[in-house]
Amino acid sequence: MWIGSLLVISSLMALVPDQVGAAREAMILAARRLFNVSANGGAIVAVLFGVFAILAHPAVMRHGWMHVKLALVVVMLICHVMLYRRITALADDPGAATRGQFSMIHGVVSLLLLAILALVILKPF
């Protein structure tokens, strides 16, 4: 839910700089609502379940891949905050955020998702 929301919101927001007037405002409002409910809620649930999973099986912290995975989750949280800041900047100043910024966030989130999944499935080290 968390990562899917970030991907949808970043794709939606990449379209906003091309819009004007009511359409622009509606897209920003939709992105904010989706961010506040799905992205924030999903992040909270993901982090809490991650903490509970580690507490249930603390031996997993002996594996190097888990440390890398947790570092990537921290980077994902940073992307989460960056996306929020870009949305608020775009709402306040139409020239503050560009299509490229949202596309870059989308790409980084996608790569992080793939890297985290690869670590969890392959457990390389």
Predicted pLDDT of residue 97? 83
Q: Are 2 and 45 in contact (CB under 8 A)?
A: yes
**Residues of the chain above pLDDT 70, percent:** 100
Residue reference for tokens 């890398």:
68
Predicted pLDDT of residue 91? 84
Domain containing 113: what range?
2-122
Number of domains in the chain: 1
| pTM: predicted TM-score of the whole model, two decimal places | 0.93
